[in-house]
Structure 1
Amino acid sequence: MKKIAKSNFGQLWRLIDQNYELFAPIEKEGKVDFGLWQDGEQVNLELTKTKVSPKGFIFPQSETYLKFKTQGKKLSMEVVSGKTDEYVLFGVRPCDAVSFTLLDNVFLKEPVDKFYQERRNKGIIVSLACNNPEETCFCSSFGIETHVPQKGADIAAWDMGETILWQPQTEKGQMLTDKLADILEIATEQDQAGLKKLQESIQDKVKELPLASVDPKKMAGDLKELFDAESWEELSKRCLGCGSCTYVCPTCHCYDIQDFDGGKCGERFRCWDSCMFSDFTLMAHGNPRTTQKERFRQRFMHKLVYYPNNNEGAFACVGCGRCIERCPVNMDIVKVINRIGGKR
């Protein structure tokens, strides 16, 4: 295990930037979100989570596949390559790191999404434990322990106050660690004893969170009974279908493929979509889900029933709490679990 003093962060950022694109939680005008680091940027590692998840770095909100143009009757096409530069994503919270593995189950199974695969392979993920989980967090309900290393991260880190403890988890993580050998120090026994106390403190805080008792396993049971539950009608009436929950969610992965027609030139691109939208999966004959109830039900059945049924019991939620914070009518996955899972 290694460590680095926070007073050396400026040097750390510059060393990483020599070999990689560096993305970190950047604070601008009071707002913190992941962005490209440049000398002089203010990195904020104190905020528990960014407003938007970092999934956009491996699954961009919009990504061009193909460019085409016409000259008379001739049509020429150019396939656009995916991510070309290696990058480091620094300060990813454990819940967001785990979300990458859930997206892997979608995009890296046959047929493999080559654009996603390339972005995933080019990135090195440095996760940072949550010293102070927020009241809207419920990651422990989905088996995520924010105080210990989690899947999806190449390097696990802990904020010890004056220093950051640093532990590589994968070959990519070790490769980055080796490149930073001149600035990283070996952690002492005292450092590791302090880490144990910090981990115990985090565990105690998680147990006291208001949503610590949320149990997604309540959604286990007969598929038809869950699907036909009368409560879907009542719950969906409050939903505005705005899609805010899906756009801040680290595990939502619905997308559309569209063509931009610029006359004699154009592009084919992929962009995020939402199952909460009335035109989602719109086909020539119409839309298979015509009511808000059907669309609302699809979102939560997918996360809590369909996805785990196809992925060895893993839920398509990491309990980050962003949907709770963002929903304008206070309708979220916790309420669905408690209502549908509590009684049909």
Structure 2
Amino acid sequence: MRLPLRLLFVFALALACRAGLAAYPDKPIRIIVTSAAGSPLDAMARMVGKLLGPELKVPIVIENKVGGTGAVGMAQAMQLPADGYTLVTATGSTSFLMAEAKSAYSPEDFLFFRGLQAEPSSMAVRADSPYRSMKELVAALKATPEKVSVGGFAAAGFHQYVYYRLQQEAGVQGVWVPFNGGNQAVLALMGGHVQAAGITPSSALPQIQRGELRLLGISSPQRDPNFPDVPTYKEQGFNVVEEIWRGLMVRKGTPPEALATLNAALDRIEAMPEWKTFMADNKQSFMRLSSAQMQKHVETEVKSRRDFLQALGSGGK
């Protein structure tokens, strides 16, 4: 029995599509990094690229697209096909961007398919700073807030949110100076342009290890085993417990088969000694969330950040 020509065409097209999906990936994959070169997010993406390329047997291209707390990188991704060949870094700061009233993006635009790292915020000062505890820094903010500026990555992002929580707890106000990367905030702190910096500890590991910077407090629930001598905000009288995450997202509409291939490769990478060493050296924690759990985590986080943005006058959807 001969099939009609139309059915033969449909059948051939289906086979071609199936073959195309099975071949993924068959060309270079781009990872758009939404923070500055040298930042913890950039370091994570570059290590992923280094290990992912051999796993998938295609080149991995890293592109830094800085600006707008990730909006610049997301805008580029939205102009490219949802085919699994463009990955975008995402962090807890991405949730803040998506919670803004005028944000062009929401969790529905992307699939947050992988969480790779989690890390608390910390408050850092120079070694020669007169402040030796969070209480001393807070006392200075109460006495002369105009003389104590605090900087960190992004405006209305994770670290400013932690600082906002601290101000609420302590009943103080202070100046926040935003930077395009945590490493840039560290350079500003080292140069004396800000008196303290709200940063992830990994942003300043060399300076901390050399004794050039001192951590006054950390926003983990308990003392971080990577920094056992640093007291938490909470044990110093300020109930501020927050951690930032880092991971990867793709445009919504990316084929499930491509995501399955990426997730399987990342499973293998997270089991590698080289990745485990990288995580330990950079004082990072594993997340161990499925793609569905990661998506839900971001959606919940976006909702929780809106009150903060409304308090800053940034609105909230």
TM range (shorter): under 0.3
User: Which structure has the highest helix share of the two?
Assistant: 2
TM-score under structure 1 length normalisation: 0.25
Greater RCO, 1 or 2 (C-alpha within 8 Å, sep 6+): 2
